[in-house]
Structure 1
């Protein structure tokens, strides 16, 4: 059994997608980040960066105590290695999968996240910042579109690279993008969206948080953190 500490964000979706794809037994431990539940001491023991997702695997491959993992990329890699699925078994294929996994966690996710912040949530509109991150999101979409030319999935077979990237493309309209401008990406996006496990993962999100709303209190919790937040 795996405990999934989760909220309905792109990074949270990644792990729900893997668990559904692999058919692993798991139970969801919701962590409402708008209410500050990510600062609870018990959660910080397994996720010291006070971010979701995190997991606790009560049946790890090696004997001993349960294994906790935080950071979505690390969790995807852990689960792929645990199950032997969704990562290529050969050296070159594994490298490709990891390259594109890290491309997402180091590029697409952070840049699209800043896009979301400055376009959707910032208390003042800063044209330079908005333009900067919308353009960079578009550049990354173009990189992925080029990668998908002649390929069904990002790293050959369907893998953790696809699971990592897909949730960050779901809000493409809010990111100021048009899928029609990226035909290879659009084809891939529609194929991934149609997977039964993908639908189940997003049904889970809707069941847990059916009407996501950014309240003023949530804004203060999520965007008011600094070093003092960690120290207190």
Structure 2
């Protein structure tokens, strides 16, 4: 079986009010994106790594790799207008059959153990989506401005990697983009696929705000 990893790195850093794209922010002296790629390279299944990156950032990424002596093999692919289009570009670069994991570049603390579990479950079930149960109480805001309580035990906070049989995901991505396509699971579900959930990791946070960088630094320190 052949394994692939599509790392989607399209973030601009706007919500962090940063001039540097989030995937290039430094965590313990190294760009976030390098931790992400390293996690997949450490998976014993040795996936082929495809980095989907804004075309205007390709040369900057090359400079960063040189400056940090980063030599993990990976293929850099032109990103698209939306995440949907970037993933589609990554899928086009895969010519064979196998299992593909799609992962957010700004989830640098994903463990190789979760990556391996995702590949194995997707190989058996056709797809695999990690998620964690919310720790806070949750309410739903309705269109009329009112709100109602929801049971957090019936909810999951979805993470990546989201992992699929290559043929299944390619078929799902043949449809035009829709606003409700927020991740790969939503695209696959729209095509009629039943989504299979597994337990994610609390440390597998997505870097979105400045506070997330501080939390990630604590997790990184604890790992050391």
Which protein is richer in strand relative to its size? 2
TM-score normalised according to structure 2 size: 0.31
Which protein is richer in helix relative to its size? 1
